[in-house]
Amino acid sequence: MANLKYSRQRAAIKEYLSSTLDHPTADTVYLHIREEFPNISLGTVYRNLNLLADMGEAVKISTPDGGDRFDGCTVPHYHVVCQSCGRVFDLKVDERYMQEMNELADQYFEGSVAAHTALFYGICKDCGGS
Amino acid sequence: MANLKYSRQRAAIKEYLSSTLDHPTADTVYLHIREEFPNISLGTVYRNLNLLADMGEAVKISTPDGGDRFDGCTVPHYHVVCQSCGRVFDLKVDERYMQEMNELADQYFEGSVAAHTALFYGICKDCGGS
DNA sequence: GTCTATGCAAAGAGTTTGCAGATGT
DNA sequence: ACATCTGCAAACTCTTTGCATAGAC
């Protein structure tokens, strides 16, 4: 493991991630942090987002279209992506249910399963989803 | 909807996708199809993979690392990605279970949910997963 | 003082697109 | 004949990386 040293930039990124319910892309994070650190570079944002994700202090979400998104909420939960506006929403489900999924998968898979993510597709309230 | 015209290249791509249990990247598809069509271009492969995905005759799988992967199996199922070798495996689960997931999500989400994908993380048999 | 993090810019992957010519209907 | 598809190459987006300097310990 590398020796981790404090940096204001990383602190600001973590702070921003945990303060928003959105699931910003790296670029969105960059634009936000730039208000406080006008000289911060996109490279630094990527480096820190990946660091946070590796440390388990953030989650990287891959969607089929566009870049990855980051989520500062480390409590396990699912995501819904709106097929109309593209926004990503949190979906809280009983954790026991998620654990059951892992166990079910572990039984069926020739190997071991440790975790999973689920991405639901739908239409959000603002876009007319009932 | 656009008018779709037959092409040998697309047919070969679809054929290849449904003949393999792997989940090739666009580039892997390209290398394979090139054995039959030495002049095919990567652009054509991408165009056709996206066409097939849009028509529901293939599935695009997004993983956090590396490019998207494609799956010719259109029967709903989950995927397991090996955290050691990066390969993607099929995970067949009772379809009723998947339907229940959608209904559960639909209840919790302020909007409507139509479908979902799940990606499990684990270690495959070849890499030492028990 | 030493080691890590930053900013910058360049490079790298993966993917899309415009165009002229080939191909399917 | 006409519309679509192909091959090619250039362009584009997203992300990573090398290097000199600034900052943390």
In tens digits, what is the pLDDT along chain A, a chain of 130 residues?
A: 568 999 999 999 999 999 999 999 999 999 999 999 999 999 999 999 999 999 999 999 988 777 899 999 988 899 999 888 888 899 988 899 999 999 999 999 999 999 999 999 999 999 987 7
The whole-number average pLDDT for the span B25-33 is: 97
Which of B71, B89, B114 terminates a domain? The answer is: B71
pTM value surpassing 0.85: yes
**Smallest CA–C1' separation from B41: which nucleotide?**
D7
Residue A57, pLDDT score: 95
Residue corresponding to tokens 């689920």: A118
Domain that holds residue B117: 75-130
Instruction: Judge if A52 and A108 occupy the same domain.
Output: no
Alpha carbon A32 to its chain centroid, in Å, reads: 16
Instruction: Judge if A81 and A64 occupy the same domain.
Output: no
Distance B26 CA to D9 C1' (A): 19
Instruction: Judge if B79 and B56 occupy the same domain.
Output: no
Structure token digits, residue A60: 């990287």
Instruction: Judge if A8 and A61 occupy the same domain.
Output: yes
Instruction: Judge if A113 and A53 occupy the same domain.
Output: no
Asked if the C-beta of B122 comes within 8 angstroms of chain A's C-beta atoms, the answer is: yes
Question: Helix/strand/coil (H, E, C) string of B63-91?
Answer: CCCCCCEEECCCCCCEEEEECCCCCEEEE
Residue A1, pLDDT score: 54
Instruction: Judge if B2 and B62 occupy the same domain.
Output: yes
Angle at A42 between CA B60 and CA B50, to 5 degrees: 15
Domain count along chain A: 2
Angle at B83 between CA B95 and CA A115, to 5 degrees: 50
Please determine, for residue B70, whether its predicted confidence score (pLDDT) is greater than 90: yes
Which pLDDT band holds residue B2 (cuts at 50, 70, 90)? low
**Strands A59-61, B69-71: parallel, antiparallel or unpaired by DSSP?**
unpaired
The whole-number average pLDDT for the span B53-82 is: 90
Q: Could you count the other beta carbons within 10 Å of the beta carbon of residue A107?
A: 8
Distance A38 CA to D19 C1' (A): 22
Instruction: Judge if B52 and B101 occupy the same domain.
Output: no
Instruction: Judge if A63 and A91 occupy the same domain.
Output: no
The whole-number average pLDDT for the span B21-47 is: 96
CB interface of B with A, residues 51-110, below 8 Å: 60, 62-64, 68, 78, 80, 82-83, 89, 91-93, 97, 101-102, 104-106, 108-110
Instruction: Judge if A55 and A3 occupy the same domain.
Output: yes
Each residue's pLDDT tens digit, B72-121 = 998 889 999 988 888 889 998 888 999 999 999 999 999 999 999 999 99
Distance A71 CA to D17 C1' (A): 25
Taking one residue from A and the other from B, the number of pairs with CB-CB distance under 8 angstroms is 123
Identify the residue with better confidence: B85 or B51.
B51
Instruction: Judge if A65 and A93 occupy the same domain.
Output: no
Instruction: Name every chain A residue with its beta carbon within 8 A of the beta carbon of B63.
Output: 62
Cα dist from B22 to A22, B28, B35, B86, whole Å: 34, 10, 18, 12
Residue B27, pLDDT score: 96
